[in-house]
Amino acid sequence: MSAPLERLTAGGFSVGLEAPLDNDWTPAGELARQQAGRRHGEPDLAQHAKLAQLADRLDFRALWVRDVPLYDPSFGDAAQVFEVFSYLGYLAGVTRDILLGTAAVVLPIREPLLTLKSATTVQRLSGDRLLLGVASGDRPVEYPLFGRDFEGRGGNFREQIALLRDAARSSLPEGMAVLPAPTSPLPLLVAGLAQQSPAWIGSNLDGCLAYPGTPEDHQRRVANWRAVAGAKPYSSFIHLDLAERADEPMRRWRFGFRGGRDALAAELRALRAAGVDHVGLQLRRNLRPLDETLHEIAEYVLPEFHAQSTTAAAPLEEICNV
């Protein structure tokens, strides 16, 4: 297992964050967006660097960013806005320890050699903190705009995985190379099935980025993942609104819940028991200030899960999927 993956799963379970670090999916956030003239789904990034540094200091294990090349008003979510590898390069310079993950880079609409160069650049600049989540993409409108074939994205995905695995050595004329060379094999985690069979995914990828779900959902999905991938890491995400009252009971919604820190800790315990190795918290629906929320989670929740040191074929729709 690569060093970033070992760090991700150190102690058997860890908690991270998903960018953008803004609570723009709240009534106050929506009002601020309208007043600032931002597009629907476009977050306020004024505090993004300060909050990333705070997350780093508070011992959140990873910060995940999504790859949304084009803003589509019908989808209405610009993610963290910035180009994914450029942003990770910036984050590598303003943070020290937190892992930096993509969730996930859409390989088939990208130029493979430049994807490799971007990834190894971030790997080198960050001190080997990159977790490269990859996907085949699910927005047909993007493919013709990039001159790519939507129907052939599965084959393209396999070709790009092979290129990333051997750092393009078998794809280039003798003597040529993509620099910087990887310091170690790039850790590749898959979001969804990427138009592949579960067996292929389990054999060729290093980890799973699963859609959010309940502990019961993940228990089933983890079992299917373990059947094809063994002990490779299984990660997922929670859309969280952390209430001020520590004992406020959980109220579930799609992809997450509102509740106090006691409910959050109980949910993380249940996910750990279900076999989940890492959970990223997405706070766009969080009503409270994010710095206050991060401090509370770090003080009262993270110590339970980050205290330990490192110790060392299913239906398609059930693997790393909804």
Give me the CATH number covering residue 280.
3.20.20.30
**pLDDT for res 189:** 98
Residue 263 has pLDDT above 80, yes or no: yes
How far apart CA 236 and CA 276 sit, in angstroms, is: 8
Residue 47: exposure state from Cβ atoms within 10 A (0-12, 13-18, ≥19): middle
The pLDDT confidence band at residue 319, using thresholds 50, 70 and 90, is very low
How far apart CA 78 and CA 61 sit, in angstroms, is: 24
Residue in this structure with the two tokens 């393009």, named with its chain if needed: 168
Contact between residue 47 and residue 11 where contact means Cβ atoms under 8 Å apart:
no
How far apart CA 315 and CA 80 sit, in angstroms, is: 33
Q: Is the peptide bond before 180 cis (omega within 30 degrees of 0)?
A: yes
Q: What is the mean pLDDT of the chain?
A: 95
150-165 mean pLDDT: 97
Q: Is the pTM of this model over 0.75?
A: yes
Domain of residue 57: give its range. Answer: 3-318
pLDDT in tens, 282-307: 999 999 999 999 999 999 999 999 98
Give the number of domains in the chain.
1
Distances in Å between the Cα of 61 and the Cα atoms of 11, 27, 48, 52, 241 are 11, 29, 17, 12, 19
**Bridge partners of 281?**
17, 238
135-161 mean pLDDT: 95
